[in-house]
């Protein structure tokens, strides 16, 4: 499609943000308003495993703000050391009606609800003041349920003071409360997004403090499987991770992005804390055929 963004200039672009359609705390309309208020020129809405926020964000788009409609897909990959690990795939400008994508992430969202109910049930059985039914009932019907929703319930019940504390003490995955979420094999996800006209970027690929990450060899292999780019400037990447990713991206001519991974008040990072070069957004838009970049009128 025609690109409506210059390849240079000072426009600030944040390509990884969450709304209440998943585990952010700003509604999609509030998210685009906050982006304009923060002085951003372009923003991607990338809720976990859903496109449910796209319509509201598009309808509320402030004048001049560009909206990249996307999602962050929960995937599993071989880690390159004989095991597997969870990875997140940013998918941009794909056709949200593509049946394979619709079916895959409807299954994931359904299982996310069951899984969150199980986790809350285990905690309730241990005496924590959380009600699994109320937790699920409070979520918008097509929202993607995640551990931050349970974390908020624990904050509301006074068990912990913050979402971060809930993760550190209870939701970290190394105790009996944790239930894994459904994950798509990453090669299938890349192929599915491609077939739907979208562009894929590996999210926070070398953020080792979050948990196990893939090796450089696996990453290069995913590029062979159609991966378009890597997110480099991300709050969870240390300088060494950024440098290693930059070297791989240069060698393989990848799209590179920088983004905040904003979650509203569920995380401390601010919108636009990390940004993407306009030329890279132009490359994403040039490559995509599934959905248009929107510009607020």
Among 56, 104, 233, 261, binds Zn ion (CB under 5 A): 261
Q: How buried is residue 37: exposed, middle or buried, by Cβ count under 10 Å (0-12/13-18/19+)? A: exposed
Nearer residue to ligand AMP within complex by CB, 44 or 163: 163
Decide which of ligand AMP, Zn ion, Fe ion, none touches 167; Cβ closer than 5 to 8 Å per partner kind. ligand AMP
> How far separated are the first and last CA of the chain, in Å rounded?
19
The conformation of residue 81, written as its DSSP 8-state character, comes to: S
| Residue ranges that bind ligand AMP, judged by CB under 6 A | 23, 48, 146-148, 163-164, 167, 181, 263, 266-267
- Residue 104 lies near Zn ion (rule: CB under 5 A): no
Shortest separation between residue 89's beta carbon and Zn ion, angstroms: 11
**Number of helical H runs and strand E runs in the chain:** 10, 9
Task: Tell me how far apart the alpha carbons of residues 100 and 189 are, in angstroms, rounded to a whole number.
Answer: 10
Nearer residue to ligand AMP within complex by CB, 69 or 109: 109
Binding-site size for Fe ion (CB under 5 A) equals 3
Shortest separation between residue 266's beta carbon and ligand AMP, angstroms: 6
Shortest separation between residue 229's beta carbon and ligand AMP, angstroms: 20
Nearer residue to ligand AMP within complex by CB, 75 or 163: 163
- Selected range binding Zn ion among 34-42, 68-76, 230-238, 245-253, rule: CB under 5 A: 68-76
The tally of CA atoms less than 13 A away on the side-chain side of residue 194 is 13
Are β-strands 13-14 and 229-233 bridged in parallel, bridged antiparallel, or unpaired? unpaired
The residue number whose beta carbon is nearest to ligand AMP equals 146
Q: How buried is residue 19: exposed, middle or buried, by Cβ count under 10 Å (0-12/13-18/19+)? A: buried
Q: How buried is residue 236: exposed, middle or buried, by Cβ count under 10 Å (0-12/13-18/19+)? A: middle
Binding site for Zn ion (CB under 5 A): 72, 261
């Amino acid at each position: 499609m025609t690109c409506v963004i210059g390849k240079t200039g000072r426009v600030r672009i944040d390509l990884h943000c969450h709304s209440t359609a998943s585990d952010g705390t700003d509604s999609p309309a509030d998210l685009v308003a906050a982006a304009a208020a923060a002085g951003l020129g372009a923003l991607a809405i990338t809720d976990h495993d859903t496109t449910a926020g796209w319509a509201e964000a598009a309808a509320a788009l402030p004048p001049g703000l560009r909206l990249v409609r996307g999602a962050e897909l929960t995937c599993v990959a071989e880690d390159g050391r004989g095991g597997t690990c969870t990875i997140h795939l940013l998918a941009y400008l794909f056709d949200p009606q593509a049946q394979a994508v619709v079916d895959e992430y409807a299954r994931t969202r359904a299982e996310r609800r069951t899984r969150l109910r199980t986790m809350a049930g285990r905690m309730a059985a241990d005496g924590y003041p959380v009600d699994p039914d109320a937790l699920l009932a409070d979520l918008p019907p097509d929202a993607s349920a995640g551990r931050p929703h349970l974390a908020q319930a624990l904050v509301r019940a006074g068990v912990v003071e913050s979402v971060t504390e809930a993760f550190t003490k209870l939701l970290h995955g190394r105790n009996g409360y944790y239930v894994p979420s459904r994950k798509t094999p990453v090669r299938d996800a890349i192929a599915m997004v491609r077939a739907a006209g979208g562009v894929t970027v590996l999210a926070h690929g070398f953020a080792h403090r979050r948990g196990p990450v893939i090796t450089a060899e696996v990453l290069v292999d995913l590029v062979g499987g159609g991966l378009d780019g890597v997110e480099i400037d991300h709050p969870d990447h240390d300088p060494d991770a950024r440098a290693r990713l930059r070297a791989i991206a240069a060698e393989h001519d990848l799209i590179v992005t920088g983004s905040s991974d904003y979650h509203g008040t569920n995380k401390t990072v601010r919108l636009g804390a990390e940004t993407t070069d306009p030329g890279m957004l132009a490359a994403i838009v040039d490559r995509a055929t599934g959905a248009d970049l929107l510009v607020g009128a």
